[in-house]
Amino acid sequence: MRIFLSFSHLFLSLLAFRGASCQNLIQDTCKACSEQDSNVNLTFCTTSLEAALGTGSASDLHGLGMISMGLVRRNVTDTRFNIKQLLKSKQLDPYVRLCLKDCFDLYSDATLSTKEAMKHYKFQRYIDANFALSSIMDASTTCEQGFHEKSGVVSPLTKRNNDTFELSAMTLSMIYILQSS
């Protein structure tokens, strides 16, 4: 019931703020998402979307979701590239190298999934977009877990995995709200 109320609140706000500044849309959306899903960090959500709007604009929730999706894609692509660079080091601990190889495969698949997710999202095929995004989210947690399975090993990808997880969670939450409207 509380969730339902906050959605209603969001839609009222979105109507009220239509044509007004994007800041309001971001604040209201991130607030609704963080209430809908405890994985969504309100500060992270608003900070990343506000930063992203430097390169785009959104007039409604669907548009904002597309920007969020773009952030997921950028993070995933960048992380895959970073793993590739890390793997070039000759001094890697053998276990860390194994983990990084797994992560490289996971992020390679995730790169394809971001393309899928964007395509489905664009055509409002939210169930398919949700499926693709969930697999990206799983990739980030599976990658991170690998490093934690052996004691004394430090993951070089914790922040990146966290960012990918967070961005996926907030995008999934936006899709959930769009689906329920």
Ligand X SMILES: *[C@@H]1O[C@H](CO)[C@@H](O)[C@H](O)[C@H]1NC(C)=O
Site residues, ligand X (CB under 6 A): 41, 43-44, 48, 71, 74-75, 78-79, 158-160, 162-163, 167
Q: Which residue is nearest to ligand X (CB)?
A: 48
| Least separation in angstroms between CB 12 and ligand X | 26
| Least separation in angstroms between CB 71 and ligand X | 5
* The Cα angle at residue 43 between residues 22 and 30, in degrees rounded to 5: 50
Indicate the residue among 28 and 163 with the shorter CB distance to ligand X: 163
Lookup: tokens for 125: 């095929």
| Least separation in angstroms between CB 40 and ligand X | 10
Indicate the residue among 90 and 110 with the shorter CB distance to ligand X: 110
DSSP notation for 11-69: HHHHHHTTTS-HHHHHHHHHHHHHHH-TT--HHHHHHHHHHHGGG---SSHHHHHHHHH
CB within 8 Å of 100: residues ≥ 6 apart? 83, 86, 87, 92, 156
Residue type at 179?
Answer: Q
| Least separation in angstroms between CB 127 and ligand X | 25
Report the chain's terminal Cα–Cα distance, integer Å. Answer: 15
Indicate the residue among 26 and 181 with the shorter CB distance to ligand X: 26
| Least separation in angstroms between CB 143 and ligand X | 13
Indicate the residue among 46 and 130 with the shorter CB distance to ligand X: 46
Indicate the residue among 128 and 138 with the shorter CB distance to ligand X: 138
Q: What is the tally of helices (H) and strands (E) in the chain?
A: 7, 0
